[in-house]
Amino acid sequence: MVRDSGLGHVQFFHDLADREPVATDQPHDLLAGLIGDGFGEKERVYFHRRLSMQDYIEVCLFVKRSIPRKIIPANIENSLVKFPITSHKKLLKGKIQPKVTRLRTQVLAFTFTRLVLNTMHRMVYPFLPAFSRGLGVDLQAVSLAVMARSALGATGPFLAFIADHRGRKAGMLTGLALFCLGAAIVFLWPTFPGFVLTLILTMLGKYVFDPSMQAYLGDRVPYERRGLILAATELGWSLSFILGIPLAGFLIARQGWRSPFPPLALLGLLALGSLNWILPKDPAPSENHASKWHNIQSVLSYKPALVSLVMSLLMMAANEVVNLVFGVWMEDAFNLKIVALGAASAVIGLSELGGETLSARLTDRLGKTRAVGAGIISNSMAALILPILGYSLPGAMIGLFLFYITFEFTVVSAIPLMTEIMPQARATLMATSVAGASLGRAFGALIATPLYSSGILGSGLAAGLLNLLSLLALIHLRRMLLAQNREV
């Protein structure tokens, strides 16, 4: 029933329906289990189930004495979850159910965590005038604070080294700790410098957490299914506008501009404790692990990575020139108040939910680069018609709906593409992409207010032009990946 592969191990594909194991000697890139020799009471099993939730698991048996632990590839070691058993036969007969936290539960926890982080990140935009009045500074000063926040996000690759070297879990928990500290500062120190410090620390926390989470899932989910799973975690982005921003608006209207920050800090602590409990322990760092500078240098010297960074920068700049001023535009043009702005934000959140749903259904089928290209073109068209639709409140809401649904589809479709450009430095690459996005948002924030002096028309035209440039970068990236026989 079983054969030695010649490498000191035997691999089983175990069908959970009929419990019939089928032996194979072919290695597989999604090793699901490693069981020590002898099958005694002290054996350890390393078990991993496909996130696609299909009907089988994979179990690999190997002779621990023959294959030293230190030569297990890091990408396999990072994807393994540990638990003890007493008999491999009982496992294969289904009499023992491994106590492993399902990745489905982890994805739900990731979505909740990103809901909290993104509510903090995004509530600045619709309530920019409220924060400006509460802090006693002009609108330009708060806009510059947002720009500074985005610019400092470019330090993400240096912090993402935590996830590539210390482990994905360590990266996520570090990001959440920074977020909780930042969210508490402005409540305890309600001044403009305190507000700026809050923006910076919460941004850094988000920019450490997101690449670590995406790298964690990239280690576990096959590329052909990755679009669906990463789109599920992106629900935290749209839900922040559907749930988080309206609640923040309600609190600001009732209790003042500082009121959303303590609940966000407490929810961040809840997320930190939950993920610390449900995520597996990171493996010990490998002795021959690449250094921080080596990872960053490898990313910055790899042409597809650089082109993807430019693409992210331009896409985010295009979004930011509208994103930063839409709250001001709605207040100026239609005299919307804080609670009404929160309701308008919920409509935008619904549009983003639609974009994430479309991405989950279409990205893997169309191919990642085709989906991103279609999204950029659609978002450009939405930006150009926004000034035309914006002569009435219903038209403005329709225009914003189209702008955000197409942008969200584009961004969510791009994430699985980015996770596969440099698998050996996945977290650093994702953080570099986030750095490019941060620089794009900083540039967009810098030019958004001057552009808005010409009305929403100037913002829409600028967004269309920047999107066109990002499309050219995507076309170049696709050609380079095809020349390397890579999946696109």
Inter-residue contact 83 to 45 (CB < 8 Å):
yes
> Within a domain: residue 1?
no
Considering the domain architecture, whether residues 188 and 295 belong to the same structural domain is answered as yes
pLDDT over 80 (residue 28): no
Residue that is last in its domain, among 92, 117, 145: 92
Considering the domain architecture, whether residues 125 and 232 belong to the same structural domain is answered as yes
What is the average per-residue pLDDT within 118-127? 89
If one compares 272 and 49, the residue with the highest pLDDT of the two is 272
Considering the domain architecture, whether residues 53 and 166 belong to the same structural domain is answered as no
What is the per-residue pLDDT across 189-211, written as a single tens digit (0 to 9) for each? 999 999 999 999 998 899 889 98
Considering the domain architecture, whether residues 357 and 384 belong to the same structural domain is answered as yes
Considering the domain architecture, whether residues 307 and 421 belong to the same structural domain is answered as yes
Considering the domain architecture, whether residues 187 and 242 belong to the same structural domain is answered as yes
> Within a domain: residue 4?
no
Kindly state the tokens that stand for 480. Answer: 């380079």
Say what the pLDDT of residue 410 is. 95
Considering the domain architecture, whether residues 74 and 163 belong to the same structural domain is answered as no
pLDDT over 90 (residue 172): yes
pLDDT bucket at 262, cuts 50 / 70 / 90: very high
pLDDT bucket at 85, cuts 50 / 70 / 90: very low
Considering the domain architecture, whether residues 83 and 191 belong to the same structural domain is answered as no
> For the chain, what is the domain count?
2
Considering the domain architecture, whether residues 66 and 141 belong to the same structural domain is answered as no
Considering the domain architecture, whether residues 313 and 332 belong to the same structural domain is answered as yes
What is the average per-residue pLDDT within 79-97? 40
Residue in 320, 306, 276 with CA at minimum distance from that of residue 147: 320
> Within a domain: residue 3?
no
| Other beta carbons less than 10 A from residue 334's beta carbon | 15
Residue that is last in its domain, among 46, 62, 92: 92
Residue in 78, 85, 80, 79 with CA at minimum distance from that of residue 99: 85
| Average pLDDT taken over every residue of the chain | 76
How far is it between the farthest Cα atoms of the chain? 76
> Within a domain: residue 98?
no
Considering the domain architecture, whether residues 75 and 126 belong to the same structural domain is answered as no
CATH (domain of 426): 1.20.1250.20
Among 34-43, 359-368, 376-385, the range with the most confident prediction by mean pLDDT is 376-385
| E strand intervals along 21-174 | 21-24, 33-35, 44-47, 56-62, 81-84
If one compares 50 and 318, the residue with the highest pLDDT of the two is 318
What is the average per-residue pLDDT within 422-442? 81
> Within a domain: residue 488?
no
Domain coverage including residue 80: 9-92
Q: Which of 1-10, 123-132, 157-166, 427-436 has the lowest mean pLDDT?
A: 1-10
Measured between alpha carbons, how far is 358 from 372 in angstroms, rounded to an integer? Answer: 12
Residue that is last in its domain, among 28, 59, 92: 92
pTM: 0.66
Say what the pLDDT of residue 391 is. 86
